[in-house]
Structure 1
């Protein structure tokens, strides 16, 4: 029997559906991020204009606010705390365990593990990334690439926060007829550390809560949870 001819655009449609299916998690959070960023821009501009009007200055348009240091510092201070959270979690879970948590390795399996367990060097498989088989600096770099990239992004976003933060801080001081401060002085200011620590404490609390609550609570079908029927003491088991 002769198969029905392919409809125009049928292959493209299937490719798009497959792409959306295979990348749904990343796309969902990317879209949610953009919507949240847009909401922050609108709400932040309204708050910023309220402050300007209260101090006797004219409000600014959305475009001006989006290019302002006030908006930039609010964005970067959240980014750096998020990447700090993941950097610490990635590195801490190499050596530390939480018995009963699916977010932890099993007790007794701490450390970087053997080449056989990690499928590196001579134990790399045919479907392993080529870099996993390298036994020189390339293999070492690739073996630690996730933590390194997360750490670098944290440091860069923290640096960006400090640069935009000192600009926003000095704008406030100038509106109050106070002398501006330089970048090095701002790094030791209460404003800089208050912005940083208020985000760090919330992120670290969230990670601790996830690691501990997942011992006793379940979310059916989620890889971040143990199977519903798994014992509370089961460690490193994902649903």
Structure 2
């Protein structure tokens, strides 16, 4: 019960900080994309700073995040990996669900930092438009982040890898940085409780352009799932045990 109450307060203060930061920084964000990015980075750092002493949740970034243009293809287990991945990159931007455009503060800042909204079920058409925008120079350079399975997947649950990352890999011809994680063990996709422990996001060895699309997707799934399973075992969770969402 004590951990649940601590988690409730932790979650509440995050929403308060997001709202206050969004309002205070809005004039700067309105005239400068860099201002919007600084506001988002502040929130990411705030979450990492408050999590250990509020709920006992430490975080760690492993591997080497890219500094230049790259495609980040990550496993998604909870909102914590959003904070950790974005906070580790100099110019990150997400492929996000279009409905998030209409979320107060989150939607406006997402668009200001260059996130690409896509319709669920129309992802292929949206990716083609995004590729076209990039080729025309309409999109700012940076690290484009896409979640390999398209949504949050609870630890131990199996879900297919979507073709979107493979399409981007082929058409953008950028180096891909796979990202593994175990954050869902401590910050579940649903519920209030946040558990103590060490949540890790790991940037894996880059995948250079040139692979066949199907071979890329198979290799991506193998390396991300293997690394994520290892991180979960390190935290004391057996990813091969039967799990129900």
Task: Pick the structure with more helix per residue.
Answer: 1
Task: Pick the structure with more strand per residue.
Answer: 2
- TM class by shorter chain equals under 0.3
TM (norm. structure 1) is 0.28
Please identify the structure whose Cα radius of gyration is greater.
Answer: 1
